[in-house]
Every structure is written in structure tokens, then in C-alpha cells.
Amino acid sequence: MSVHITGMIWARPTSDLEMNGGPAVQPDFIERITLAHEEAGFDRVLAGYWTNAADGFLVLAHAASVAKRIHFLLAHRPGFVSPTLAARKIATLENLTGGRLALHVISGGEDADQRKDGDHASHSERYRRTDEFLEVVQRTWTATEPFDHVGEFYSVEQAWSDVRPIQPKLPVFFGGASDAAIRVAQKYADVYALFGEPLAETAAMLARLRACLPRGRELAFSWSNRPILGATEAEAWDRARHIRERALAKLARAGGSGLIPGGQAVNSQRLVALSQRGEVLDERLWTTMAGVLGGRGNSTALVGTPEQVARSMLRYRELGVSHYILRGWDPLPDAIEYGRELIPLLRELAEAQDRRRLSVPAHTLASRRLDVRQAIDTSLAPSTQG
């Protein structure tokens, strides 16, 4: 099983530890951070979606004009662009990248944030809309003749697009912890993106997702984290504590009264709950920053030497994770450090893991699968909201 590593880029320097400065769009920074990820050995970079930030379509178009090898992942929220137009925009960008684009569909977990862009749909409506949106998008890419569509949210007549993706199947990433999210993902997702939870919770989520898939349907899994590395384990933990201090100092400079309150999204609530359960879970999964940031975004961290972190990541691979979304707390220098210290080692250890797996007797593998099942059975029951 291959290891796929995705980083993250922005249109300007962005950090949870320092105040953002300078223009909201800095083309030279887009170039620098994209090329840094390419040179560091990342497979993809993600341009996220924020209600106050530069448009991801254009950020990735500029990134693709300077980086010729790395692939791209576009975060997109259904509901603000009609699906036929979105299909043409996505396919156009995919053609301009030479077929290096994947789509990360985000239905939206925070009502207040959705309203900033004029969306007043409820949580359940957003997921129904995403389902219909993806149906029309994929039909736009594959139709052999103009088509009509009449649904709950969209109605089009004689829709047609001359521009189609280069790839036979443009990959779709999807996420969310609710039953509504899973119902949509089982129909359209190629990769399901999970936040950085402990092994037992991750195993339970993978089992829950697999149980919902139609027979013969396969789904890859991604796990997100923000590793903190040190030459020694003690140095890594010192660095982690300093990161917390810098984050709290930023909140104070911004006029905050303390920690960011927990968000509405179930994934955010789950991460905050982890921080309340313990600062360190599974030996080196540091949850403190999830509490500081209200569980928003990718806010847990594996802390240790590069080898310790890589070996911890491989434990998720044993559960079935093949993709990792990694970003640092100081994004640009951390991406460079990951490329120098972590990514080559992770790939080397993954190859060794595969060689060992080929030599392990079938009954031993069955025993390991039973251990995973027992971990699932004793983990927290999955939520059905958010």
C-alpha cells in the first residue's frame, strides 16, 4: 500500500502562532511554499476554503504554473456555485494542471461560518445539497448528450460541458463524522479524510465507514496531523510547550480572553473532548492544541524524534490509512523540515513494513485483525450529529 502525503499552502504566510501580516494575496509566497513542498517530497498540496481568504481555484492555478511535479487538492464548499459551473471550473483547473488535481468536498460544519457567505441551510440540508451537487457535477463530466436535472436544490436544462477532466476519475476527498456525511461519502468519495484522533477512535471510524460501503466498493483513508519534531524526544516536547505558549500569546494579542471555544462541528467537538481526556494519548499524540484552538482544523500533533513520529504514523497505516495530510505550526519551515527529516524515513519504514507483511503467516494477520476489532469494540461510540 503506497504512502501518499499531502501538505497545505496559503496565499500568504498563515499561522496559529503569529499574527498574519502583509497583503492577503502574495504570489511570491504561493510560489515559495508550493515549491518547498514539491522539493520536500510531498505528493500533493491542499488549498483550503475559508470565508475570509483568497480563492483556492486561483491559488492552485498560480501554484501549478510554477510547480510541475506535485499534485493539488482543492477544497470546495457546495452551495455557492451551481454544480454545472463548478464542474467546468474544476475540469478547467484540472486541465491546466495537466491532470494533477483532486477535489476535497467540504459541506460545512459551522452554521455561523456558512452564513458569512450567505448560506442559511441547516446541517442536514447541506449534506443533501452536497449529494445532489456531486451527482450533477459527475454527470456533467460524463454525459454523452445534454441532460436535464430537477432536484431539491438544483434544476438545469440541457446542461453540457465541452471541458472534461483529463483523469478517467478525478479523485474526490470527503470528510465529516456524522451519519449524513458518511451517506454521501459512500456514494462519491475516493478518500475519506479523518482528523488526528487516537488509534482506537480511528479504527472505529474506519470500521464504521467500511460497514456502510456497498459490496465491491473501496475507499482509501487519510489521517491529518501536525507533527512536532526534535533531535531528541525531550527537545520535541520542549518545542511543543513553546508552541502552546506562542499560540496563547497570539490569542492575547488579538484581544482574546483565553482559549477558543469549541466549535459546532462534530469533528471539532471530538478533538476538544480528546484534549479534556488527557494531554497525551497513545504515547505521543499531543491533544493540548485542540483545546487551545477549540478543535478547529487539524489541531493534534505527534511529538517526538522523526523516527518516533514515523513509527507512530505507521501504526495508523496498519489500520488501513494510506494518506496523510500534514502541516506544521510554522508552515513553511516545518514543510522543509518534514522533507528533510520525516518523509524519507516514513517511506523507508513503510517499505520495510510491507516486506514484513509479505512474510507474516496468514493466521498471524488474522490475530492482528482480531486485536483491532477488540479495540474498536471498546472505543467510544461514534456520534450521529455534525
pLDDT tens-digit map of 228-242: 999 999 999 999 999
Q: Is residue 232, in this structure, part of any structural domain at all?
A: no
Q: Rounded to 5 degrees, what are φ and ψ at 40?
A: -80, -10
Q: Is residue 132, in this structure, part of any structural domain at all?
A: yes
> Rounded CA gap, 358 and 144, in Å?
44
How many structural domains is the chain composed of? 1
Grid cell in block for residue 28: 511570491
Q: What pLDDT score was predicted for residue 372?
A: 41
Strand partners, 46: 8, 73
> Rounded CA gap, 117 and 42, in Å?
32
Give the largest CA-CA distance in the chain: 63
**383 vs 91: which has the higher pLDDT:** 91
User: What average pLDDT does the segment 300-312 reach?
Assistant: 98
Q: Is residue 14, in this structure, part of any structural domain at all?
A: yes
* CATH number where 138 lies: 3.20.20.30
- pLDDT of 371 over the 80 cut: no
Under the banding of pLDDT at 50, 70 and 90, the label for residue 177 is: confident
User: What average pLDDT does the segment 323-334 reach?
Assistant: 97
- The candidate with the shortest Cα–Cα distance to 5, out of 332, 225, 268, is 225
Task: Give Cβ neighbours of residue 164 (< 8 Å, ≥ 6 apart).
Answer: 91, 141, 142
Query: What's the order of all strands across the beta sheet hosting 280-281?
Result: 228-229, 301-304, 285-286, 280-281
**142 vs 376: which has the higher pLDDT:** 142
Q: Is residue 230, in this structure, part of any structural domain at all?
A: no
User: What average pLDDT does the segment 279-299 reach?
Assistant: 92
Q: Is residue 292, in this structure, part of any structural domain at all?
A: no
> Rounded CA gap, 34 and 212, in Å?
36
What residue numbers bound the domain in which 150 lies?
Answer: 4-225+304-361
pLDDT in tens, 166-175: 999 999 999 8
- pLDDT of 373 over the 80 cut: no
User: What average pLDDT does the segment 135-160 reach?
Assistant: 98
User: What average pLDDT does the segment 102-110 reach?
Assistant: 90
* Cβ 191 vs Cβ 323: under 8 Å: yes
Under the banding of pLDDT at 50, 70 and 90, the label for residue 358 is: confident
User: What average pLDDT does the segment 22-41 reach?
Assistant: 97
- Which residue pairs from 343-351 have beta carbons closer than 8 angstroms and sit at least 24 positions apart in sequence? 343/5, 343/40, 343/41, 343/42, 344/41, 345/306, 345/307, 345/310, 346/3, 346/5, 346/310, 346/313, 346/314, 347/3, 347/41, 349/307, 349/310, 349/311, 349/314, 350/3, 350/314, 350/317
What is the pTM for the complete model shown?
A: 0.90
What is the residue whose three cell numbers read 523540515? Answer: 337
Q: What pLDDT score was predicted for residue 215?
A: 87
Q: What pLDDT score was predicted for residue 258?
A: 60
- pLDDT of 366 over the 60 cut: no
Q: Is residue 236, in this structure, part of any structural domain at all?
A: no
Under the banding of pLDDT at 50, 70 and 90, the label for residue 264 is: low
* Cβ 321 vs Cβ 2: under 8 Å: no
Q: What pLDDT score was predicted for residue 257?
A: 56
Please, what is the average pLDDT of the chain? 91
User: What average pLDDT does the segment 370-386 reach?
Assistant: 42
pLDDT in tens, 36-83: 999 999 999 999 999 999 999 999 999 999 999 999 999 999 999 999
Q: Is residue 22, in this structure, part of any structural domain at all?
A: yes
Q: Rounded to 5 degrees, what are φ and ψ at 81?
A: -130, 135
Cα-Cα-Cα-Cα dihedral sign, residues 262, 267, 270, 274:
negative
Q: Rounded to 5 degrees, what are φ and ψ at 228?
A: -125, 115
* Cβ 156 vs Cβ 84: under 8 Å: yes
Q: Is residue 336, in this structure, part of any structural domain at all?
A: yes
